[in-house]
Structures are given as C-alpha cells and as structure tokens.
Amino acid sequence: MAKSRILSIAPEAPLTLPSEQGRFGAFGGRFVPETLMPALEELEAAFRQARSDQAFQEELNGLLVDYAGRATPLYEAKRLSRELGGARVFLKREDLTHTGAHKINNALGQVLLAKRMGKRRIIAETGAGQHGVATATAAALMGLECEVYMGTLDIQRQAPNVTRMRMLGAQVVPVESGSRSLKDAVNEGIRDWVTNVETTHYIMGSVIGPHPYPIMVREFQAVIGREAREQILAKEGRLPRVAMACVGAGSNAMGLFHAFRDDPVELIGVEAAGHGLETGKHAASLSAGRPGVLHGAYMHLLQDAHGQIIEAHSIAAGLDYPGVGPEHSFLKELGRVSYAAVTDRQAVEAFRLLCRTEGIIPALESSHAIAYLRELAPKLSPEDMILVCLSGRGDKDVAHVESYLEDNA
Amino acid sequence: MRTIQEAFARAKSQGRAAFIPYVTGGHPDMATCARLIAALDKSGADIIEIGVPFSDPVADGPVIQTAGKIALDGGATPAGIIELAAGLRDQVSAPLVLMTYYNPMLAMGLDSFAARSAQAGVAGVIVPDLPPEEAGPWLQAAREHGLDTIFLVTPGTSRERLQTVLRACSGFLYYVSMYGVTGGALRMDAKSLAAVQRVRQAAAGLPVAVGFGVAAPEQAAALAGVADGVIVGSALVKRMLEAESAEQGLAAASDLALSLSGSLAA
C-alpha cells in the first residue's frame, strides 16, 4: 500500500457521532470530577485541531509507516480455514506492528497530541500490558516522562510486559485496590490525572472514558479497518461477509468496524465469557450487563442491584474490564453489531489451534475472536470470507497458557 | 433539623464559618456511624455530609477509599445509607447532605433516589462525577423533591464555567481547594485564598464552602477568613480508621471536630 494512502485519521469525516456532548445515542458523555472538565475541553480542542492539520497528519502517518510498520498485512489463514471447514478466514495482522499489538496506533497519536498541548508527562493504565508497552514506547520516542498504572494481578500474569515497560524507561505503578486489574488501574490513572492535570496527559488505551476519548481512540484505531477494507478489495475484489474482533473495552473492534459501518458486512464483537456467563465470573458487559456510569461514560457495565461495579473475570488481562466503550453499547442497541462471548477454555483452545495450524502465537485477547470462528466458520460456505482482527501477539501469554493447561489438564 | 440556608445563616450570625464534617456512611458499621454523626452534631457541626460508599470512588484518596471498602464489605448500600439518615433526622440539628457517585443513583432510579432521600429528611446531594452538563435529569428529580444539588468548582474552573456551575447549583457551592483527590496536600498560600474570595464574589450570596485536604485547625481557621464554610473529611475518617475500638474512634473524631469547629470564628 502506498504511503500516501494510509491516512491516520480522516480529516474530511464530520464529527456526526458522537454529538457535541460526546453522546452515541444515550451512551457516552462526560461524567468526571470538575477538575478534569477544563482538561477534557482542552483535549477536545487539540484533537479537533489536529484532525484538520496537515502537518500533524503527516507526522503521524510517517510514524505509523516507518516506526510502527504499517500497513499490517492481511493474511489468508488457509490451514486454519481448512481445519475449521466452511468460510475462508483472513487475519488482519496487528500482531505484526512494532510492540506487537494495535495499541501502538493510539499511543503514537495521543503522544503527538500531548506534545502539541505542551504536556511533559504521560500516564496510562494497562491490563495486558500492551497499551502500557505502546505508551512507554511512544513516550520514549518523544522524550516524555511516563508512568503506567497496572493492577498487581496483571503484573503477575503479564510479567514480560512489565519488564518491557521498565526497559523503555517507564515507571510501572502497582495498583493494589479492588480487583487489582484493569478497572482499578483506570481508577488510579484518573486520580493521578486529577492531581497532575496541569502537566500531564492521560493516554487512555481504549474507546472508553469521558468524551473525547471514545471518538479519539476510535479515530486513531480506524486505520485498522481502513487498511483491511482496501486490502481485501484489492485481493478479492469484494467485501467479506463478516468482520469480527474481540471486545474488552473495545478499541481494536471499533478500529476494525468503523470502516465497514455502511457496508453490507456483518459485524461481530466477541466478549470474554470467563468461566461461563452463568457463573457470573466473566467480562461480558454487553452480553450480561446493564447501562450505568463508570470512568466518565454511560455504557454497559457489570454491576449489582445497588450500582456497585462487579469485578470482571477473564483469562485475558486485556479483556478483564467490567465496562465497554459507549459506541459499542450504541451499536448493540442499534443492532448494527452483534456480540457473542467465549469462555477462557475456548480461548485457550483457539490459542493452541492458531499456533498449530498457522505458526502464529496470538494474544489471549485475540484468541477470543479466533475461538468464535470455530462456531461461525463451519456454518458458512467456502464462498464466504471472514475478516478477523488479530489484535496482538501472544508472547506475553505463553507462560500463563502453559500453567493454565497444567492446572486444567 | 435546620435547613442548609439556616445552618449558614446561624454560623454567620455567630461571626464564624460553618463547620461541615464528612463521614463515610456505614463506616466502620451502621450503628457506630450513626453515633459518630450524632457526636459530630454535638461537636459543632453545622452541616454533615454522609458519603454513600461506591466500589470505584475516583475522586477519593486512600483514606476514604479504605473506609468505603470497609463499609461495602459490611453490607452498606445506598438504600441503607438513606435509612441511616432517616433514623437520625430527629436526633441531630445539622442538616444532612449525601455525597455519592452517580452510578448508585442511576441504579436506584433518579426519581426514586430523590424521593427516598427527601423523605428521609436529607437536605441536599453532592455528586462529584456529575458535572452540570450531565446533570439535567437529576436536577429535575432533585427539584421536584425539594433537594439541593451542591456542585463543585476547582482552582482550574474558568469564569465562564463558574457561571454554568452556579446556574445549576443550590444550597452551597463546594470549592475544591486543590488539584487532587480527597485527603491530598492542601495549598494555602495567599494566591489560593484570593481565589476562594473571587469565587465567593461570583457566587453572589450562595454560600461557598472549601474542602479537600483540610486537616488541621490552623488550616480551617485560615479558610474561615475567606469562605462561608469549611469541609473536613479524610482527617476525621482517618481518626476512625486508626482507632483501636469504636469508642476510641468516636472520642478522637469528636475531639478533632471540637477543635476544628472552635477554630472557625472570624
């Protein structure tokens, strides 16, 4: 793909959604402490300005191409397709970006924005560590100070990424509160931002949080779908029947879906069913939650009758979040995207399947999308194509999967 | 039980700023919490804030987080905190104000939350994650049931935003003294005191109370010179957390409340 064709964010697209108030239908908004309101207004203004600034676009495009390694390939997984039977499967290889996951697309965009706003310090939350690594990488590249909040449970199960962040010069701040995972890391990130808002930019890693984060992160990730759409048209001369991605908070899914919104393409998000939806130990907020307000936005949440947030569970640290991006809530309500859920066990089986059939070690997060393929692909015909976002690579997960297999042999 | 307006007027007539302590509802347990509120009422509290514990309190520092967690683990619910207030209405003369995050209100239903709070004698509600831009549905419910909604402003709030906040705000205006979460380090230089005075001028008669980080009588005394009220939360909750028994905690919190309320004379 020619360099000039890869637009990082689309300056011509109007901000029709979300609304001025940051609403996707009823969802989204800006439910934050007053201290953050001026910062969010400043961020929104900077983002709007950057969207229409040629110099910003070029700088980001340059980094995405020369530094992050875009465009990522669209790869037809023939042995996997043969094993599954039915439809042909194409993988959008976000695992091949620099740092090994789609998170770098957003981290580079937001770090450039932070520089424009004159912020010297970057903070982020991370679950699987992929967003933390991407942010630490981008901050190192720009010479900015970086602190990453991470739950102690996640520090334990994603140890390789903790080391990577430290090597990159970031400080990893362990979070002991609550479920000691992604939700609590976001809480600490918000508390830090409230305290240091004058000097600090908070790089949220997904399409959650108060406006403008959900649209901003979607725009920085939309490169995934734009490339994939062009690539499949170039290869096959037609669109896929289905485009699908795993959904934790939902940034790789929004990045993929956005380009296909107006196409006759079925969109499927795959949530983490953990031990099973019926056990209550899962992270499927769209499949099993109800709307409420957390971390600045109105969205589907796992919560009890009193509005207390329930701890999510997933074997994939990056999906282990009790909420979901407000635009996903909106797309679900519209019926434009359907959402399924697969269990830890199914995800681990899919992890092994992709290793064995294609020689690709997928992230446990992405393995959830692969797992749902096993249900979907056999039902379709060999004429049909399924596009799957392989959002990240699984090097970080190999030890965790090995011990899971030992414990569940 | 006085109204919020009466509480500020009374303090003013006595030549002092109002003393507004905060307690985490249901901490360390419901019964002790009720006794604490009654004790604060006797130790010079003009208005008492009762925190409704929430699983993810992003505006709170470690002290109030810990107390909230203990309360939740002990079975505290929003409905239970409203009942606590109802049980106290005939015992205390200070008006009671709930401080809660938005999601528990949504979960109960905004109208139901307002109706039950008003019925319990609650005078107003503070919602730190509900800025005026998002507050329309709640304000409608609150006004229907005669509840005040107290909004927050910070040192970073622009003059224009201050007007937006003031249009939505009733009861009093909560001035967050610094950038940070509850219990953080308070900045008390001439510049920050002048900022309080500017907000107070703009508030045009609506009382302004200062909170977040006020821990010592000297700080409270300095703020009393520029504000209509001084809010103290974490410092009191910390006394309860550090106490070896409920009795000891009640005594320590009452002692601090007495010295704080005594420091507020102009």
Q: Across the beta sheet with A242-246, what order do the strands follow? A: A74-76, A88-93, A385-390, A242-246, A266-274, A337-343
3-state secondary structure of B251: helix
What average pLDDT does this structure show over A346-361? 98
ipTM greater than cut 0.90: yes
Beta partners for B2?
none
Q: So what's the pLDDT on residue A4?
A: 35
Q: How far is it, in rounded angstroms, from Cα A244 to Cα A338?
A: 10
For residue A91, give both structure tokens. 């993988």
pLDDT-above-90 percentage for chain A? 92
* Residue A11 pLDDT > 50: no
Does residue B87 belong to the interface with chain A, where contact is any CB pair within 8 Å?
no
* Residue A9 pLDDT > 60: no
Q: How far is it, in rounded angstroms, from Cα A8 to Cα A224?
A: 10
Q: Is the CB of B133 less than 8 angstroms away from the CB of A21?
A: yes
**Catalytic pick from B60, B90, B133, B148?**
B60
Q: So what's the pLDDT on residue A16?
A: 52
pLDDT digits (tens, 9 = 90+) for A207-242: 999 999 999 999 999 999 999 999 999 999 999 999
Q: How far is it, in rounded angstroms, from Cα B234 to Cα B215?
A: 7
- Residues of chain B contacting A177 with CB distance shorter than 8 Å: 65, 69
In the structure, what pLDDT confidence band is assigned to residue A21 with cuts at 50, 70 and 90?
Answer: confident
Does residue B79 belong to the interface with chain A, where contact is any CB pair within 8 Å?
yes
CB contacts < 8 A, A to B, total 107
Q: So what's the pLDDT on residue B185?
A: 82
Q: So what's the pLDDT on residue A17?
A: 72
For residue A301, give both structure tokens. 């949440």
How many structural domains does chain B have? 1
- pLDDT tens digits, chain B, 266 residues: what are they? 999 999 999 999 999 999 999 999 999 999 999 999 999 999 999 999 999 999 999 999 999 999 999 999 999 999 999 999 999 999 999 999 999 999 999 999 999 999 999 999 999 999 999 999 999 999 999 999 999 999 999 999 999 999 999 999 999 999 998 888 988 888 788 888 999 999 999 999 999 999 998 999 999 999 999 999 999 999 999 999 999 999 999 999 999 999 999 999 85
Longest Cα–Cα distance in chain B: 48
In the structure, what pLDDT confidence band is assigned to residue A8 with cuts at 50, 70 and 90?
Answer: very low
Q: Is the CB of B134 less than 8 angstroms away from the CB of A30?
A: yes
* Residue A3 pLDDT > 70: no
Q: So what's the pLDDT on residue B266?
A: 59
Sign of CA dihedral A294, A298, A304, A305: positive
Q: Picking from A168-177, A364-373, B215-224, which range would have the lowest pLDDT averaged per residue?
A: B215-224
Does residue B102 belong to the interface with chain A, where contact is any CB pair within 8 Å?
yes
In the structure, what pLDDT confidence band is assigned to residue A1 with cuts at 50, 70 and 90?
Answer: very low
Q: How far is it, in rounded angstroms, from Cα A64 to Cα A7?
A: 10
Q: Residue B38 belongs to what domain range?
A: 4-262
CA atoms within 13 A on the CB side of A375: 13
In the structure, what pLDDT confidence band is assigned to residue A19 with cuts at 50, 70 and 90?
Answer: confident
- Residues of chain B contacting A125 with CB distance shorter than 8 Å: none
Q: So what's the pLDDT on residue A10?
A: 42
* Residue B80 to residues A98, A325, B88, Cα–Cα distance (Å): 51, 31, 13
In the structure, what pLDDT confidence band is assigned to residue A157 with cuts at 50, 70 and 90?
Answer: confident
* Residue A2 pLDDT > 50: no
Q: So what's the pLDDT on residue A20?
A: 81
Q: How far is it, in rounded angstroms, from Cα A197 to Cα B59?
A: 13
pLDDT digits (tens, 9 = 90+) for A84-106: 999 999 999 999 999 999 999 99
Residue A292 makes CB contacts below 8 A (sequence gap 6+) with A298, A299, A301, A303, A307, B103, B106, B107
- Residues of chain B contacting A34 with CB distance shorter than 8 Å: 128, 131, 151-154, 157, 165, 176
What average pLDDT does this structure show over A103-111? 98
Q: State the SS3 of chain A.
A: CCHHHCCCCCCCCCCCCCCCCCEECCEECCCCCHHHHHHHHHHHHHHHHHHCCHHHHHHHHHHHHHHCCCCCCEEECHHHHHHHCCCEEEEEEHHHCCCCECHHHHHHHHHHHHHHCCCCEEEEEECCCHHHHHHHHHHHHHCCEEEEEEEHHHHHHCHHHHHHHHHCCCEEEEECCCCCCHHHHHHHHHHHHHHHCCCEEEECCCCCCCCCHHHHHHHHHCHHHHHHHHHHHHHHCCCCCEEEEECCCCHHHHHHHHHHCCCCCEEEEEEEEECEHHHCECCCHHHHCEEEEECCEEEEECECCCCCECCCCCCCHHHCCCECCHHHHHHHHHCCEEEEEEEHHHHHHHHHHHHHHHCCCECHHHHHHHHHHHHHHHHCCCCCEEEEEECEECHHHHHHHHHHHHHCC
Question: Hey, what amino acid is at A114?
Answer: A
For residue B260, give both structure tokens. 């704080």
From the number of C-beta atoms within 10 Å of its C-beta (0-12, 13-18, 19+), residue A262 rates as exposed
What average pLDDT does this structure show over A376-380? 98
Tokens 């009374």, residue located: B10
CA B70 vs. chain centroid, Å, equals: 19
* Residue A370 pLDDT > 50: yes
Does residue A309 belong to the interface with chain B, where contact is any CB pair within 8 Å?
yes
CATH code assigned at B127: 3.20.20.70
Residue of chain B minimizing CA distance to A290: B107
* Residue A291 pLDDT > 60: yes
In the structure, what pLDDT confidence band is assigned to residue A373 with cuts at 50, 70 and 90?
Answer: very high
- Residues of chain B contacting A293 with CB distance shorter than 8 Å: 101-103, 106, 129
Of B61, B78, B157, Cβ closest to residue A34:
B157
Strand pairing report for A88-93 and A121-126: unpaired
Beta partners for A170?
none
3-state secondary structure of B236: helix
Q: How far is it, in rounded angstroms, from Cα B109 to Cα B112?
A: 5
* Residue A72 pLDDT > 50: yes
Tokens 């709070």, residue located: B117
Does residue A177 belong to the interface with chain B, where contact is any CB pair within 8 Å?
yes
pTM of the model as a whole: 0.95
